[in-house]
Structure 1
Amino acid sequence: MLSHYERRRLEQIQEWFERDDPHLARALGQVGGPGGWARSRTLRYTIDALAVFLVVLGAATLNFGLIFFGAVCLAAAACLHVTRWNDTPPRHRRLE
């Protein structure tokens, strides 16, 4: 918990950043997941399809290396889905 003085000083610093360098203030105030290609829905579904394909191919050829790599891809795809790296724009945070 911040004291009244600390909160006021942080608000003054934030206002100074917003006046002096609005681009930096906007970048520092963003809340959300990573941007760019990591948020792509197409990327997530492509990793899903690749993982399923590798598991099926590995099972058909009894190649356990392909099955293992497919399982690793499935785990990565699950992380991408669960962490909610979605296509919504990041929010901006202000001190309260």
Structure 2
Amino acid sequence: MLSHHEQRELERIQDWFEHDDPHLARALGEVGSVGGLARSRTLRYAIDALAIGLIILGAMTLNFGLIFFGAVCLAAAACLHVTRWSETTPRHRRLE
């Protein structure tokens, strides 16, 4: 937990950023801001399908490299789903 003095200094710095460079302050204050392509629901499902396809193909051909790469893709897809990179607009965060 921050002391009263530290909190006041952080608020002063934040106010200075918002006054001096509002675009930078807005970019730093966005929570959950993600690039446009990474937000795509279709991309997330395509990565799921690719990962499952690689695992099935690797199991059919007994190619453990494909199985491993499919598992890595599946883990990346799970991260995309869990972090909920969605089409919602990012919130602006203010120091508390």
TM-score with structure 2 setting the length? 0.81
Query: What amino acid is aligned across from residue 2 of structure 1 in structure 2?
Result: L
| Alpha-carbon distance, 1:22 to partner | 0.7
C-alpha separation between the residues in 2 aligned to 1:35 and 1:84? 13
| Alpha-carbon distance, 1:66 to partner | 1.9
C-alpha separation between the residues in 2 aligned to 1:14 and 1:72? 40
CA root-mean-square deviation: 1.8
| Alpha-carbon distance, 1:11 to partner | 1.6
Paired residues, number: 96
- Work out the percentage of aligned pairs sharing the same amino acid: 80
Structure 1 residue 31 corresponds to structure 2 residue 31: yes
| Alpha-carbon distance, 1:71 to partner | 1.6
Structure 1 residue 42 corresponds to structure 2 residue 42: yes
| Alpha-carbon distance, 1:17 to partner | 1.5
Query: What amino acid is aligned across from residue 51 of structure 2 in structure 1?
Result: A
Hey, which bits of structure 1, 4+ residues long, moved more than 4 A? none
C-alpha separation between the residues in 1 aligned to 2:92 and 2:72? 34
Moved more, 74-83 or 22-31: 74-83
Deviations 1:6-40 (A, max 9, x none): 22222222122212211011011111153332232
Q: Which runs of 5+ in 1 are unaligned?
A: none
